[in-house]
Amino acid sequence: MIRRSWVAAAAFGAAALTTLPASAQYADGGIKIGILTDMSGGYSDLAGRGSVTAAQLAVEDFGRPINGRKVELIFADHQNKADIASSIARRWFDTEGVDAIFDTNSSVAGLAVREVARSKGKIDINSGAGSMALTNAACSPTGAHWSWDTHSLAAGTAAALADDPKNTWFFITADYTFGHDLEAQVTRVVKAKGGTVLGSVKHPFPNPDFSSYLLQAQASGAKIIGMANAGADTINTIKQASEFGILQGGQRLGGLNIFLTDIYSVGLSAAQGMILTTGFYWDMDEQTRAFARRFGERMGGRMPTMVQAGDYSAVLHFLKAAEAAGTDDGLKVMAEMRALPIQDFFARNATLRPDGRLVHDMYLAQVKSPAESTGPWDFYKILKTIPGDQAFQPLSESTCKLVKG
């Protein structure tokens, strides 16, 4: 397991100090946050070291101590395993003074951390996992789901691809909570639009060889092969589909959970024309480009993904709330997080609901062709904005026990 820690290096001038409530109470004197992510596996490109870097930038931009102490940031690798994720979370909360955990990409790890955080009354803010359970059955009074979920992907990509009711679908699905959720959400949209699902096949996570699954999808005759997976699994699916000539046969890949780093890995030639949904694109406007430039300077020129940008947004908003609350008590800080306005380059038209869902604008995008791209990381054309109230599950449909019917 990879792990490092540091005290965030920011200039703390006297002019930057904010007056705290007279009753300010922080159990360990200050605020300590943990980034629990995939540092070495299939999701490490879309999160990993980049998520740590984004969080560090947020701490620096916050730019001041809380209760007279610098904000401390640590990170660890959960290796996409529930037992490792929960063990690290428990140790951080019990013995290392961590007040909040961020990122936790991978639904398996995210749901495990959610249970630990709930039992400790601590905050967990998930920017990396997609499972709807985080704001339904596993919702928590101290938990939030920040960047995206399977409902938002279906509301964008699946809705666009399912506009033609003559389209038929076959799914290649990661065999765990996230993959099952994504397939179910997309199936709901496809059927609502009059389309047909011909079948699906489940694959283990992670998985290097998709040949047998792609052959089943090809044999189905489905017009769209829906990839209900992520990270390295999606990359391998796209590459191997191209190698087998599946697209040349007239079938189309449905990129249901595509990240910027996936396109970088497979190349524009293989991915061009693909439709996807994202909560962030680095080249959307000057705000996003300004963050991307700073991020790229520390990440060897790489541009941030939706998960990494979401981590920045979540960490910065948490710090503002922890300062305003005058305490690290999870319930009180979360109350401040809901009360304070949320508006940054990532979270636009955003509100934090009682079930923990951050509702914000999402974007339907299309991957450019090599001829359309003007330089490194110039991958997307933004087709339209999907307002948050259309992108995410309505609160009225939530099964979260914190939502009053």
Query: 103: left (phi > 0), else alpha (psi -120 to 50), else beta?
Result: left
Q: Could you tell me the two tokens for 25?
A: 């109470």
Q: Could you tell me the two tokens for 191?
A: 């059927």
Q: To 5 degrees, how large is the angle CA 162–CA 168–CA 169?
A: 85
How confident is the model at residue 405, as a pLDDT? Answer: 57
Q: Look at the domain 150-276 and name its fold.
A: Rossmann fold (3.40.50)
Summarised one tens digit per residue, pLDDT across range 206-229 is 999 999 999 999 999 999 999 999
Identity of the residue numbered 264: Y
Identity of the residue numbered 164: D
Is the whole model's pTM more than 0.85, yes or no?
Answer: yes
- 154 class by beta-carbon count within 10 Å (0-12 exposed, 13-18 middle, 19+ buried): buried
Q: How far apart are CA 276 and CA 70, in angstroms?
A: 39
Q: How far apart are CA 166 and CA 261, in angstroms?
A: 32
Across the range 109-113, mean pLDDT stands at: 98
Q: Does the pLDDT of residue 8 top 60, yes or no?
A: no
Please answer whether residues 352 and 123 qualify as being in contact, where contact means their C-beta atoms are separated by less than 8 angstroms: no
How confident is the model at residue 163, as a pLDDT? Answer: 86
How confident is the model at residue 164, as a pLDDT? Answer: 85
Identity of the residue numbered 368: K
Q: How far apart are CA 161 and CA 146, in angstroms?
A: 25
Residues of the chain with CATH 3.40.50.2300: 30-147+283-359, 150-276
Provide the 10 A C-beta neighbour count for residue 126: 35
How confident is the model at residue 24, as a pLDDT? Answer: 72
Bridge-based pairing state of the strands 362-367 and 275-278: antiparallel
Across the range 153-166, mean pLDDT stands at: 91
Mean pLDDT across the chain: 93
- Which class is 30-147+283-359 in CATH? alpha beta
Residue given tokens 């922890």 in the structure block: 322
Q: Does the pLDDT of residue 200 top 90, yes or no?
A: yes
